[in-house]
Amino acid sequence: MARQSGEGRRRALLIAPSILMIGLFMLVPVGIMAAISFMERGSGGGVNWGSFTTEPYLQFLFERDLDDSLLLNTDYLQIFFRSIWLAALTTALTLAVGLPTALFMALQPERRRNLLIFLVTIPFWTNLLVRNYAWILLLRNNGLIDQVLMGLGLRSEPIGVLYTTFSIAVGLAYTFMPFMVLPIYASLEKLDWRLVEAAYDLGADRWRALRRVVVPLAMPGIAAGCILVFIPCLGAFVTPELLGGGKALMIGNLIQSQFGAARNWPFGAALSMALLAAVLLAMMFYLWRYRRAPGAV
Amino acid sequence: MKDWAIEARGLTKRFGTGADTVTALDRVSVTIRENEFFTLLGPSGCGKTTLLRLIAGFELPSEGKLLLHGQRIENLPPFRRPVNTVFQSYALFPHLSVLRNVAFGPEMQRRPKAEIEAEARRMLELVRLEGFERRLPRELSGGQQQRVALARALAGRPRVLLLDEPLSALDLKLRREMQIELKRLQHETGITFVFVTHDQEEALTMSDRIAVMSGGRILQIGTPTEIYEQPTSRFVADFIGETNFLDAHCEQVAEGRAQFRLSSGDLVQGLAIPGLMSGSEVTLAVRPERLDLLADGQPGIPATMQDLLYIGNDTVCTVALADGTELQVRVQNRHGAIHASAPGSAVRVGVEPQAVRVVGD
Ligand SMILES: Nc1ncnc2c1ncn2[C@@H]1O[C@H](COP(=O)(O)OP(=O)(O)OP(=O)(O)O)[C@@H](O)[C@H]1O
Ligand SMILES: [Mg+2]
């Protein structure tokens, strides 16, 4: 008994630093955010400390009529869902490129793999702004891609991809590609390739061996990659601003502007809380789904 | 010939390039009959797995032809060959239940749904695993996993089943049970079995025919009795069972018989093999149980008793010939432990001509 509690105390001591870190740098700021989201906005920025109101949350869904009655306002919801759609599109793009990439890497001789991992991380090396401007140069009207397409005679006029949801998704996908490739690669690297031989042996062609054996066994990596891409995409604001040309407002831009130009901290905080809730729901869905799936651990 | 399930002609497989080249299979030619239990037997690294992988289609031959029921298959991918494998490691799909594992083959053949399910259940019944349908592979014992692997390979109704040391991970008792079960399954399904083992006893008891391999070559193909009683090479005689090897000089050959002078100077009669010429130096192989231990003075080769090893049913005696050549003689303890001569005493070794075989190197 005594020994056990001693053991327990030692264990508590060992994890204390990380608990402290999480508490200090995550829970406290989130708590402050949550608190701010229930306060009145201060004149000229900041908040009136100690005040309480649910107005920021109401503002998310409604607008006040002249007679102070609430009218449903879907503007912000639309932004919210546009952001989710964008994050989903980006995740799909990274998955479509990342899965074959990871598969290719895992099938290379061992010596070449480390070099490939290194190459995959290249997007991390340059500044986010530089990367985004590079994409602007590629995607803009008469940019490199247009010139190549027209030069080859495949197109007679510019295709005008820049400043669309698609161009944002391309930019985000490029930025977050390593987050998709690396977890999938990690799970493919552990895969027992004899199972793929067994699938071939039983009459599965390459496509069906991939679908029935490789993908299910790489599912933990695929799911992790999707989460790692989806969540930061939801809150991204630099890339939507630059590659979206400010035309399509995303939730990240909205939050940023509330803390910046609009000087409406409580509303910004409320939006952040709504985003956090959406992310938590997604995570819970993931845990629920994969705790049940046999063999996917 | 039509009823040949598998025909390999001059099959060669090399791995690597340049100086690192390994010749895993060296001009292997073999024909395996339909519904035969055919065993590949040989020491580790002799190319058994490589031959199976070529038949299954996981490797492409460097040279040679491979025919399945008369059709060239060496360039078909594995999923187009009516050949299934029971892997040494079982390679069961860990994310699928036992039933879905077994149903995998029929599903890939796009058979009707009801038929797939029925076939999988029938196969599980065949390997006596009813009631395990919903389990995951990791929830099974080694022997049960092995039977799932067998059921899965059989469910695709292959023409040929390849088994790569499927029993090596099992303990002795389970191994015996599975040996019997495998024979029963082969009998019931009528499928050609190509079985790999390096356990000579397993090979002798289970096979219709055995191919003994060494260094990427097939040294001899024959029924278990042919392989055991008439080994053509020193390697085969040595690899399977115990054998005495004697250097001898062939004195004369006549009417299927030959007379040899041993290095000890004694004369023995033996069987001639085609191409044996008098005057040549040969190696003779004699199984210890085919020799007789006789009292001194009786007709036989004079020898000196060296050592007696009592092993229950038999006694293994080591005797030395006149020039010191040692010989093992295995005597059945039919009347209880033999009270043969003490070490050092003179004895005679009786050799019947049928027991003496000339083997190549
Ligand atoms: N992929 C490969 N690359 C290089 N050499 C290989 C490869 N596969 C097999 N070999 C070599 O070919 C030879 C035959 O190997 P194989 O696996 O067929 O032996 P085996 O008879 O099955 O042995 P065991 O009883 O140990 O399983 C060995 O020398 C092995 O090192
Ligand atoms: Mg092997």
**pLDDT given for residue B7 in this prediction:** 93
Nearest CA to ligand 1 atom 24: B44
Please write down the long-range contacts of A281-290, taking CB distance under 8 Å and 24 or more positions apart: A282/A227, A282/A230, A282/A231, A283/A227, A286/A223, A286/A227, A289/A223, A290/A219, A290/A220, A290/A223
pLDDT interval class at A294 (50, 70, 90): very low
CA distance A207 to B244: 57
Across the interface, do B91 and A202 touch by the CB < 8 Å criterion? Answer: no
Q: pLDDT by residue (tens digit) across B310-320?
A: 888 888 999 99
Q: How many Cα atoms within 13 Å fall on the side-chain side of residue A60? A: 21
**pLDDT given for residue B135 in this prediction:** 94
CA distance A181 to A218: 12
Q: pLDDT by residue (tens digit) across B173-224?
A: 888 888 888 898 898 888 999 999 988 889 999 999 999 999 999 999 999 9
DSSP code for B233:
B
**pLDDT given for residue A296 in this prediction:** 38
- State the Rg of chain A over Cα: 24
Across the interface, do A202 and B108 touch by the CB < 8 Å criterion? Answer: yes
Domain ranges of chain B: 4-237, 242-352
- Compute the distance from residue B187 Cα to the ligand 2 centre, in Å: 25
B-chain residues near A294 (CB < 8 A): 95, 97, 136
Residue B228 burial (CB count, 10 A): 19
Domain ranges of chain A: 2-72, 76-291
Mutation to test the B interface, candidates A201, A206, A210, A290, most B Cβ within 10 Å: A201
Please give the CATH architecture assigned to the domain spanning B4-237: 3-Layer(aba) Sandwich (3.40)
Query: In sequence order, what are the residues at sequence separation of 6 or more whose Cβ sits closer than 8 angstroms to the Cβ of residue A125?
Result: none
Whole-angstrom distance between the N-terminal and C-terminal Cα of chain A?
Answer: 34
Query: Pick from B89, B93, B105: which is nearest to A213 by CB?
Result: B93
pLDDT above 70 as % of chain A = 96
Which one of B13, B14, B15 would you pick to mutate in the ligand 1 pocket, going by the greatest count of ligand atoms within 8 A of its CB? B15
Task: Output b/e per residue, B37-47; b: 16+ Cβ within 10 A.
Answer: bbbbbbeeebb
Q: Does any CB of chain A come closer than 8 Å to the CB of residue B152?
A: yes
* Whether the Cβ atoms of residue B11 and residue B24 lie closer than 8 Å to each other: no
User: Atom of ligand 1 at shortest distance to CA of B59?
Assistant: 1
Query: In sequence order, what are the residues at sequence separation of 6 or more whose Cβ sits closer than 8 angstroms to the Cβ of residue A167?
Result: A135, A139, A161, A243, A244
- pLDDT above 70 (res A2): no
pLDDT interval class at A209 (50, 70, 90): very high
Tokens found for residue A29: 């700021």
pLDDT interval class at A6 (50, 70, 90): confident
Between the alpha carbon of residue A275 and those of residues A278, A280, A287, B48, the distances in Å are 5, 9, 19, 60
In total, chain A counts a number of residues equal to 297
Which one of B41, B46, B199 would you pick to mutate in the ligand 1 pocket, going by the greatest count of ligand atoms within 8 A of its CB? B46
- Compute the distance from residue B44 Cα to the ligand 1 centre, in Å: 8
pLDDT above 90 as % of chain A = 36
**pLDDT given for residue B81 in this prediction:** 93
SS3 A228: helix
Q: Does any CB of chain A come closer than 8 Å to the CB of residue B83?
A: yes
SS3 B264: coil
CA distance A240 to A144: 21
Which one of B21, B25, B50 would you pick to mutate in the ligand 1 pocket, going by the greatest count of ligand atoms within 8 A of its CB? B50
Model ipTM value: 0.82
User: Atom of ligand 1 at shortest distance to CA of B43?
Assistant: 25
**pLDDT given for residue B294 in this prediction:** 87
Nearest CA to ligand 1 atom 1: B15
CA distance A48 to B259: 118
Q: Does any CB of chain A come closer than 8 Å to the CB of residue B139?
A: no
Q: Is ligand 1 within 6 A of the CB of residue B13?
A: no
Average pLDDT over chain B reads 90
**Average pLDDT estimate for B106-133:** 92
Q: Is ligand 1 within 6 A of the CB of residue B52?
A: no
Query: Pick from B89, B94, B105: which is nearest to A202 by CB?
Result: B105
Q: Does any CB of chain A come closer than 8 Å to the CB of residue B84?
A: yes
Q: Which residue type, as a one-letter code, is found at position A136?
A: I
**Average pLDDT estimate for A204-217:** 94
- Compute the distance from residue B104 Cα to the ligand 1 centre, in Å: 28
Average pLDDT over chain A reads 86
CA distance A151 to B205: 74
- pLDDT above 90 (res B41): yes
Please report where in the chains the tokens 């040899």 appear, as a residue: B260
Q: Is ligand 1 within 6 A of the CB of residue B22?
A: yes
CA distance B37 to A150: 66
pLDDT interval class at A46 (50, 70, 90): confident
- Compute the distance from residue B51 Cα to the ligand 1 centre, in Å: 10
Q: Is A26 exposed, middle or buried (0-12, 13-18, 19+ CB in 10 A)?
A: exposed
Distance from CA of A204 to the nearest CA of B (A): 6
Report the CATH fold assignment for A76-291: MetI-like fold (1.10.3720)
Report the CATH fold assignment for B242-352: OB fold (Dihydrolipoamide Acetyltransferase, E2P) (2.40.50)
Q: pLDDT by residue (tens digit) across B125-143?
A: 988 899 999 999 999 998 8
Across the interface, do B89 and A194 touch by the CB < 8 Å criterion? Answer: yes
Ligand showing the shortest atom-to-Cα distance for residue B87: 2
Nearest Cα neighbor of B223 from B1, B11, B37 is B37
Across the interface, do A201 and B89 touch by the CB < 8 Å criterion? Answer: no
Q: pLDDT by residue (tens digit) across A29-40?
A: 999 999 999 998
In total, chain B counts a number of residues equal to 361
Q: Does any CB of chain B come closer than 8 Å to the CB of residue A290?
A: no
- pLDDT above 60 (res A262): yes
Distance from CA of B111 to the nearest CA of A (A): 12
Q: Model pTM?
A: 0.81
Please report where in the chains the tokens 């019944």 appear, as a residue: B125
**pLDDT given for residue A4 in this prediction:** 59
Q: pLDDT by residue (tens digit) across B210-269?
A: 999 999 999 999 999 999 999 999 999 999 989 999 999 999 888 888 999 999 889 999
**pLDDT given for residue B2 in this prediction:** 58
Q: Is A41 exposed, middle or buried (0-12, 13-18, 19+ CB in 10 A)?
A: buried
**pLDDT given for residue A1 in this prediction:** 47
Residue of A nearest to B109 (CA): A203
**Average pLDDT estimate for B344-350:** 89
